[in-house]
Structure 1
Amino acid sequence: MGAKGGVALKFLQWFIRGVQLLASALILGVYAYFLAALHNHDLNITNQVRAVAGISGAGVLYSIIGLLLLCCLAGIMFTSFIAIVLDVAFIGAFIYVAVANKNGASSCTGYLDTPFGKGQDSSKANGSDGFTSLPSFHTACRLQSACLGVAIIAIIFFVLSILTEVALARHHNKEKRFGPGPNNNYTTGYGSGGLFNRIFRRGKKRTGPEENALPAHTTPEQLDHNRQSYATETTAVHSNDNPYSADYPKQETGYGYPTTQNGVGHQTAATPQNYRYGDGVYDRA
């Protein structure tokens, strides 16, 4: 994966964080209504209702921060580690939200147990007068059913965000280690095969010929010792025991000029007497 792979991972994480934001906001809206109605009619507010409202509110805040930080801090090791830890924490938190709304898994008919109390599906909770209308037990149960389904969706997307965050961190580290080259078409990344090619080729030895390797040179063990010469220092003079054979005639020096002996110089031939020159005959004195 190159630059396009990094952009695709960021868009995927944007989508995942967006779903988390919507899921958290929906649960927060339902439980904010529960809190307002219970408080307005002086009904008992359980710790479970407060906890679910707090978890969903924290999920909204975390999702918004995650969406904003994706623009500038995506894939950095420290921020990715913090995001993964928080994602794991929110997985546990939304499991609690799903358990708190387990009564919504029923058909919401008959005798129901809701945050407004227990009673038949057609009846309402009894409370003091207030400006917020109280829902019937059936309506409260249906709202819990919606929160249960959304909590399960949020859990799934928090798991997906962990996987995407790991992929972003790996991509970011890869971009720092590898620059443009022929294997990646002079862009960035691992080259052909992408990330999965790097994962599966770990531990494998290269068996094919190296493209940029130099040709193999002849070693001394591979030399033919019957050949007369490979280098100046090993030049052969003859190939058999007879140095004066016809194949290798003996070299002669001098090239036809008479040799000289040490200490004996060349002598000039004497001119005969009465030698006739071009302008007359001269007697030697």
Structure 2
Amino acid sequence: MDTPTMTMLGEASVGFKVFQLFLRWWRALFVTGILIMNSIFLGMMNSHDLHVNRSIVIAEGFAAAGAAWGCIDMIFGICSAFCCIPLMAIPLEGFMTGCYVFIATVYKQALRDCKGYADTPFGEIMGMDGLPSVRDSCGMQKANFALSIVAAVLSGGCILMEILHTAICCTVLSNDF
């Protein structure tokens, strides 16, 4: 069996990077959806002077951080010809995975039945104009929960791809010296 060479690294690296960019692109779309729905929750609650649960505010901050990290991570993915960049990205990616899991735990109440009372950010306030019904609010929570779970899985995939890319890069570089 041949020893890995820089040419082999180039071929493997291109495959890894294309797959990583695919994962990052989809994760960015899901995180944008999370951010939009959290913003809708917060905006409607603030406009009706309703109490905003602290967890929702934190989830909004994590979603905004996830959107910002998505942009930075796409740049890392395009420019990461050097092995040190994935090593810097792995801890940040791990932190963001934890953020997506936190968002999922905030919205886990949506997994219950949405026909009667639902523990939504709006509660059971159906008489106020402009607020979504309990069913609509619960549906938004379900969507937020699902998007955050998928974002966490995609983020975990990005971590795995970074580790594999770093291992291949370091193996080839150590064999060249």
- The residue aligned with 2:67 is 60
Does 2:155 correspond to 1:158? yes
Cα distance in 2 for partners of 1:38, 1:74 equals: 45
Q: C-alpha distance in 2, partners of 1:74/1:149? A: 33
**Is 1:172 matched with 2:160?**
no
**Match for residue 259 of structure 1?**
none
Instruction: Please give the alpha-carbon distance, in whole angstroms, between the structure 2 residues aligned to 1:110 and 1:66.
Output: 42
Maintained 8 Å contact 1:75/1:168: no
Take 2:137 and 2:65, find their aligned partners in 1: how far apart are those partners?
23
Equivalent position of 1:148 in the other structure: 145
Aligned AA (2:59): V
Q: 1:124 corresponds to which residue?
A: 126
Q: TM-score with structure 1 length normalisation?
A: 0.56
From the two aligned structures, give the one with the greater helix fraction. Answer: 2
Instruction: Kindly indicate whether residue 103 of structure 2 is the aligned counterpart of residue 103 of structure 1.
Output: no
Distance 1:44 1:167, change over 3 A: same
Q: Is the contact made by 1:124 and 1:134 (CA closer than 8 Å) also made in structure 2?
A: yes
Q: 1: CA distance between counterparts of 2:102 and 2:10?
A: 39
Question: Equivalent of 2:80, from 67, 73, 77?
Answer: 73
Summarize deviations over 1:38-70 as a string: whole Å, max 9, x none: 111111111111111111111111011111122
Asked if the contact 2:126/2:132 (under 8 Å) is kept, the reply is: yes
Pairing 1:181-200 to 2, within 5 Å after superposition: none
- For residues 52 and 22 of structure 1, the distance between their equivalents in structure 2, rounded to whole angstroms, comes to 17
Contact 1:84 1:165 in 2 (8 A): yes
CA deviations on 1:254-274 (whole Å, 9 max, x unpaired) are xxxxxxxxxxxxxxxxxxxxx
**Greater strand content:** 1
- The 3-state SS of whatever aligns with 1:30 is helix
**Structure 1 segment 169-248 matched on structure 2, within 5 A:** 169-178=166-175
Q: TM-score, normalised to structure 2's length?
A: 0.87
List runs of 5+ in structure 1 lacking aligned partners: 180-285
CA distance in 2, matches of 1:9, 1:73: 11
Q: Which of the pair has more CA radius of gyration? A: 1
Corresponding residue for residue 244 of structure 1: none
Do the aligned partners of 1:125 and 1:137 also contact (CA within 8 Å) in 2? Answer: no
Letter in 1 for 2:126: K
1:138 to 114, 135, 139: 135
**How far apart, CA to CA, are the structure 2 residues paired with 1:124 and 1:26?**
25
Q: 2:46 aligns with which of 34, 39, 53?
A: 39
Q: Comparing both chains, which one has the higher relative contact order based on Cα–Cα distances under 8 Å and sequence gaps of 6 or more?
A: 2
SS in 1 for 2:80: coil
Q: CA deviation at 1:89?
A: 1.2
Aligned residues: 169
- Residue pair 1:20, 1:59 contacting (<8 A) in 2 also: no
SS at match of 1:61: helix
